[in-house]
Amino acid sequence: MGKKALEGIRVIDFSWIGVGPITAMYLGHHGAQIVHIESNTRHDALRHNGPYKMKPDGTFDVGINKSGMFEDNNSNKIGVTLNMNTPQGIEIAKRLIAQGDVVIESFTPKAMRKWGISYNDIIKFKPDIVMISVPIYGQTGPMSMQLGHGVTTPAVSGVQYLTGWPDRPPAEIGIPYTDWIAPNFATTFVMAALDYRI
C-alpha cells in the first residue's frame, strides 16, 4: 500500500461536536496524525449524545466514553486533556501547536483569543501554521460571539423558510446539516493550504 497523502502532517484539533472533529477525522483518514485537545472539566458535548449500546435488560449503556457518535467522529485521534484555564495548559497547547502543521478550532472567537492561540498569536511562534476556524457564526459580525449548533443554523440562515409547503409554517430539515456539509469544504481548504505551503 502506498503512502497516504497527509503522512507526516500533524493536526492539533481543538474542535468539538461536529464540523471540526469530522474535518480532523477526514484528514486522519488521509494519513495525518490528529491530536484532539479536550478539557477534563468541560467535555465535548457530543460525549453526552447517543447512540449508546443497549444492555441485555433493555437499558442503554450511557457514559462519557460510550457515545457511538463521539467515537465515530474521533476514531483516529490521539486524545489529550488540558485545562486551558491554567497557564500550564496553555503552555502545553502552544508546545503542541509548535510541533504541528494544522490547527482546527470551532469555538466562538473569544476562546482562542483568551488563550493567546488565535491565528495572529500562533504565527508569531509558528509562522507556517495552517489554521481553520469553524465557529458557527464566523469570526466577525454581530453574531460572532453567540453560541450555536448545526440544528439552529437552518432557521437563522433561512433554509427552514425554503422547506415545507407554501400553506404551512417553515419545516425543520431534521439534521444539523452544517455538520455534514461544512467538513467537505474545510478539508478541501486545509489540503489546498498545505499544498500552497509546500
Cα–Cα distance list, 90 to 33, 93, 187 (Å): 21, 5, 26
pLDDT at 176 over 70: yes
* Residue, of 150 and 116, whose pLDDT is higher: 116
pLDDT in tens, 84-119: 999 999 999 999 999 999 999 999 889 999 999 999
Catalytic annotation, residues: 179
The confidence score (pLDDT) of residue 116 equals 97
Instruction: State the Cα–Cα distance between residues 186 and 101, nearest whole angstrom.
Output: 15
pTM of the predicted model as reported, rounded to 2 decimal places: 0.90
Amino acid making up residue 20: G
* Gap between the terminal Cα atoms of the chain: 24
Rounded (10°) angle between helices 19-29 and 177-197? 50
The confidence score (pLDDT) of residue 1 equals 65
**Do 76 and 29 meet the contact criterion of CB atoms below 8 Å apart?**
yes
- Closest residue by Cα to residue 135 from 98, 115, 108, 116: 108
Helix, strand or coil for residue 80?
strand
- DSSP character at residue 60: B
Helix, strand or coil for residue 20?
helix
Give the rounded distance of the alpha carbon of 158 from its chain centre. Answer: 24
- Which pairing describes strands 102-105 and 77-81: parallel, antiparallel, or unpaired? unpaired
